[in-house]
A and B are shown apart, each in its own frame.
Chain A
């Protein structure tokens, strides 16, 4: 186990969450928060990906087609005959 320093306010909020959500301990709450944060960041990456497709006016199907060609190019470079 490791210790971290947090403010009184954050500590109070963690304790409240622990009671409200019936979590075992602060470690469990923090792990859940980390997962939620990572999911949120992945959501942002997904939004950006769709925004880029729109900006470039390229369909998802077309992107997959172009990716196949690039896949062959990469394979030829990494594993030349």
Chain B
């Protein structure tokens, strides 16, 4: 499969892992996105979650939060784009619905540490394919 042709929805836990350990599997995913080999998307709910966590838990300033968000090679998708697909989601946990809804709209898989997503991408398989290219 040519991954440069496909899009991937990335979940918060993978984003945090990439920041926590740049050399982790999640960090490698970010590197591949920076090289434009894959295209990462995430709903604005994830962006808002990150903003609040960085601000409340880690005392990031607004300016630093903007910097971090700009460094991430992720396209943040507005609620209006995926809201209609929320009703079609199968995941039971409400906070996970925007992730699945966006993957339905973009017709692509999800990169998440949570195993309950039906169309979850296996990160090892993805990295193997990308490293072959």
Contact = CB atoms under 8 A, between A and B. Distances in A.
A43 to B, nearest CB: 6
Interface string B62-90: 00100110011100000100010010000
Given A53-B58, A71-B12, A79-B94, A38 B49 contact: no
Given A42-B30, A45-B67, A63 B53 contact: yes
Nearest to A49: B19
Interface in A8-38: 35, 38
B13 A64 contact: yes
Contacts of B35: 35
A45 B65 CA distance: 10
Given A39-B31, A52-B58, A74-B52, A45 B16 contact: no
A75 B97 contact: yes
A74 to B, nearest CB: 5
Interface string A47-81: 01110110110101001101110111111101100
Contacts of B31: 39, 42
Interface residues of B, number: 38
Contacts of B57: 56, 58, 63, 66-67
Tell me what chain A mostly uses at the interface: helix, strand, loop, or mixed: helix
A75 B94 contact: yes
A11 B52 CA distance: 45
Contact of B34 (A42, A46, A52, A67): A42
30 contacts: A35-B34, A35-B35, A38-B34, A42-B30, A44-B71, A45-B72, A46-B18, A46-B19, A48-B68, A49-B68, A52-B58, A53-B58, A56-B58, A63-B57, A66-B53, A67-B13, A67-B16, A70-B49, A70-B52, A70-B53, A71-B49, A72-B94, A72-B95, A73-B52, A74-B52, A75-B45, A75-B95, A78-B44, A78-B79, A78-B98
